[in-house]
Amino acid sequence: MKKILLITVLVTAAMSAKAQRIEVVDSDGNGIHLVSVLTEDGNMIGTTSLSGVIADVKGAKNIILTHVAYKPQQVDVTSLKDGRVTMEDIDYGLAEVVVKPKPLIYVETYYRAYAFANDSLRYYCAGILPNAYDPQKKKVKTGSYYNSCGDFSLNLNVLTTWGARIQHFHAGKIYKSTAKGLQPGGEQSKKYFTTLTNEGNGRQRVSNPEGTVGYIENDNTQTRMTLDAAKMQMYRNKVLGQDRTLKLREDKEYNYQFTEVFNHDEDGSDKSTDLVMYSNHWEWNGSKGRMKFIIETYAIDCSYMDSKEFKAKKDELKKKYVAPMTLEQLELYATSHSIPALPPSVRKAINRLKK
């Protein structure tokens, strides 16, 4: 009897120690990259891989799934039969800009920035950022931050740092658009990846000689691109013989991935005014443990402007939002612009920062 009891205990312990693998897919069954997986208390468990998989939810019985292009979802892990979860698309998009082009491309964005240390949220801010890109000079002009949540800031310099990150998408992409679809653009991009393979149903696999680095998915009006930029950057380090940078990234277990959603025309081309959503994830081993940074950016207004109009727009926003908005005001603004609300678990984590 004791032997049977011991075997039962060992089997039970082995089952409980078994990694809980979750696969997150879209309505077509394709894996969703860069889904943030959190506990009910808002602690970061991890993010899904290019194939939509997180290898282990670390014993969590209930998890929260978030992604810029999909509705947040709470999942009871114990109820899953095959570990597969389907997320629902967000019905979100901008009306096409039909104004006669002017020198500047204006994109007004709503941003959220998170910083985690050892899976615990340590920093959060959100706000409105006006951006303008001069395609002739290939130069980004940006306004200062409005309504960043100063109550949650660890230090003011972080806000300035995020500014360059958030408006990075205006500086151009590593691919070019053609009537035949998205193609690698120029000699520079060949140092990152070399192949786009059609997999059917508007889905393309992005590869370099070391394997798959991302996917591009097209429907009738929208394109979604997800890339493992760390793999691309480190491959480029090898190609260029940048051994020191490569070793530094390897030692820190550097990870950088992003996803972008934008509208496109019938011929498959896209313009800088067509941005819908954008998200960056960075991770590395730092002095305070494993650091994770996430930026979510949502376009809420796109148009063409000249310099005077851009200045007037910045002044208008600065006057309108003269005082920092509370978290509640920021979330009301977000939902009124069809931006998904923060899940309750994330709100819990943010509220802990305020104490």
* pLDDT tens track for 12-32: 444 444 568 999 999 889 999
Q: Which residues neighbour 332 within 8 Å (Cβ) at sequence distance 6 or greater?
A: none
pLDDT < 50 stretches in the chain: 2, 4-17, 147-185, 355
Domains and CATH numbers, the chain: 19-86 (2.60.40.1120), 104-339 (no CATH)
Dist. CA 46–CA 36, nearest whole Å: 6
Q: Quick check: 227 and 192 in contact, CB under 8 A?
A: no
pTM, two decimals, is 0.79
Q: Quick check: 333 and 342 in contact, CB under 8 A?
A: no
Tokens of 24: 């997150």
Q: What is the pLDDT of residue 304?
A: 85
Dist. CA 75–CA 306, nearest whole Å: 47
Dist. CA 310–CA 304, nearest whole Å: 9
Q: What is the pLDDT of residue 115?
A: 82
DSSP 103: S
Q: What is the pLDDT of residue 55?
A: 92
Beta bridge partners of 178: 181
Tokens of 241: 């013989």
Q: How far is CA 212 from CA 193, 207, 231, 353, in A?
A: 9, 4, 9, 38
Q: What is the pLDDT of residue 90?
A: 78
Q: Quick check: 70 and 87 in contact, CB under 8 A?
A: yes
Q: What is the pLDDT of residue 248?
A: 93
Decide: helix, strand or coil at residue 165. Answer: helix
Q: Quick check: 339 and 261 in contact, CB under 8 A?
A: no
Q: What is the pLDDT of residue 101?
A: 73
Closest CA to 226 of 178, 292, 182: 182
Q: Which residues neighbour 131 within 8 Å (Cβ) at sequence distance 6 or greater?
A: 106, 107, 108, 109, 140, 141, 142, 143, 167, 170
In percent, how much of the chain has pLDDT > 90?
A: 19
Residue type at 211?
Answer: G
